[in-house]
A and B are shown apart, each in its own frame.
Chain A
Amino acid sequence: MDACVCADKTQLHLDPRTKLFMVFVVSTVVLVTATTPFTVFLRTLITFVPLFLLILEGRALSALGFALMYGVAMFLMHFFISQNSSGIIMALLVGYCGIVVQFMPAMICAWYMVKTTKIGEFMSAMQKMHVPDGITISLAVIMRFFPTIKEEYGAIRDAMRMRGIMLGGGNPGKIIEFRMIPLLFSCVSIGDELSCAAITRGLGANVKRTSTVEIRLTSMDYLVMAGFLLIAIVFIMAKYTEIL
């Protein structure tokens, strides 16, 4: 449950709506495959902004990890792999680098949003954007649950290792069953506790909810949004007119 211990320590704390906008732009841009050096540059740029923001929020280590992974994949993709590569190792590399280059930018951005947004802030931002309550609640639960699932899964793996069960005896059904069932058990009970806790705090009551966190768009937010919008427009123009 280490989801949101950061924030407030730094100067630059963006509004959740800005982060959502960033996620939106990055997800749109990564849909389009970058082909020319210029578009590759823009893609890389758009990837490094959330990394930079992660560092500002005091998560330099995970930013470094992401940067390394992305950098290595980019490097391999552009210098080692060509249209004519073949062979098993090359095929693995192509698959791996392809996935990383294709999905990492959006992943990093989503990770940045999830890690640096408090649930309260997120809920209040969604409410300000008039998103239906059901979607907001579910999304908030999803955001909050990824770290929990990871933690629980780690615990299950430890327990399996302690009892000397490595892969479930090589039976694919068992491999999945041994991991999935305990995970479901713990997640369901955590979910039940979570809903009890949330309902006692008035979630789902028929009134407009107020929030203790005040969210406000600052000039920095507008700056970041404008920057991202600009990159997106330039990217799409460069892609479809192929001038650059």
Chain B
Amino acid sequence: MNNKLKAKDFITVGLFTALLFVVEFACGMLGFIHPYIVAAYVIIIPLVGGIPMMLFYSKTEKFGMLTTMSILLAIIMFVTGMGWLGAPLIIASGIVADLIAKGGNYKSAKKTILSNGVFSLWVCANYFPVIVSASSYRKDLLKGGYSAEYCDNLFRAINSKTAIVLIIACFIFGCLGAYLGEAVVKKHFAKAGIV
């Protein structure tokens, strides 16, 4: 089997990136209910995104697929206004996830779950600007018309102290999402003969 990504694989990568972004966007819209939900992205997005990700893992199985996807996610995040500060983190998690999955030859269930856990860290990258520039960001938000209550809640949930918790939670729920996604993929797609 040829292990280089071909045009067909890039189309698959694009397709799943679009799906993942739709998941992210749909979950992101919930963020306006309460700032705590913004922090809970690390739980919601990896869990829901696990389903398309697992299908993606079983469909491509070539080195570079996750790296490409992370580059695309970084581009989309930038274009939709989340900034470029998180981009190196997104791409780094993509490369590491790719290497882990390659270690299991893209077949090993354990390595795939681990790999998705690492890949899920791209969600955390979106908090990066909030954490790095916390004080000036807060001032800007207040001047920009946010209420103090919202800011307090936002920064109580996301700051340099909770960052570690968020990252770990993200990783765990990424693994959990992968596990659930694997089950869902088996239940529906293996039966239908798609994977």
The answer to whether A35 has its CB under 8 Å from any CB of chain B is: yes
Asked whether, in the complex, the Cβ of A138 is within 8 Å of the Cβ of B51, the reply is no
- Stretch in B1-9, B91-99, B111-119, B157-165 touching the partner: B1-9
- A83 interface residue (CB < 8 Å to B): yes
Of A27, A81, A199, A203, which contacts B147 at CB under 8 A?
A81
Are the C-beta atoms of B68 and A204 separated by less than 8 Å?
no
Q: Does B22 contact A (CB under 8 A)?
A: yes
How far apart sit A135 and B146, CA to CA, in the bound complex (Å)?
37
Choose among B19, B68, B189 the residue with the greatest number of A CB atoms under 10 Å from its CB: B19
List of A residues within 8 angstroms of B84 by Cβ:
31
**Alpha-carbon separation in the docked complex, A181 to B189 (Å):** 9
Chain A residues with Cβ below 8 Å from B81 are 27, 30-31, 102-103, 105-107
- What are 9 A-B pairs at a CB distance below 8 A? A23-B79, A27-B78, A83-B148, A85-B149, A98-B141, A138-B14, A141-B15, A187-B19, A204-B8
Neighbouring A residues of B32 by C-beta, 8 Å: 92, 95-96, 98-99
The distance in angstroms between the C-alpha atoms of A97 and B32, with both chains bound, is: 8
Residues of B within 8 A of A244 (CB): none
How many whole Å from A211's CB to the nearest CB in chain B?
A: 16
Q: Which bucket holds chain B's interface residue count?
A: 35 or more
Contact size range, A: 35 or more
Name B residues whose Cβ lies closer than 8 Å to a Cβ of A: 5-8, 10-15, 17-19, 21-22, 28-29, 31-35, 48, 51-52, 55, 59, 64, 68, 71-72, 75-76, 78-81, 83-84, 129, 137, 140-150, 184, 188-189, 192, 194
Contacts from A to B (Cβ < 8 Å): 23, 27, 30-35, 77-78, 81-86, 90-92, 94-99, 101-103, 105-107, 110, 133-135, 137-142, 145-146, 149, 176-177, 180-181, 183-185, 187-188, 191, 194-195, 198-199, 203-204
Knowing A86-B147, A135-B71, A139-B72, the reply to whether A149 touches B22 (Cβ < 8 A) is yes
Q: Tell whether A181 pairs with B148 under 8 Å between CB atoms, given A95-B31, A204-B8.
A: no
Query: What's the dominant secondary structure at chain A's contact region?
Result: helix
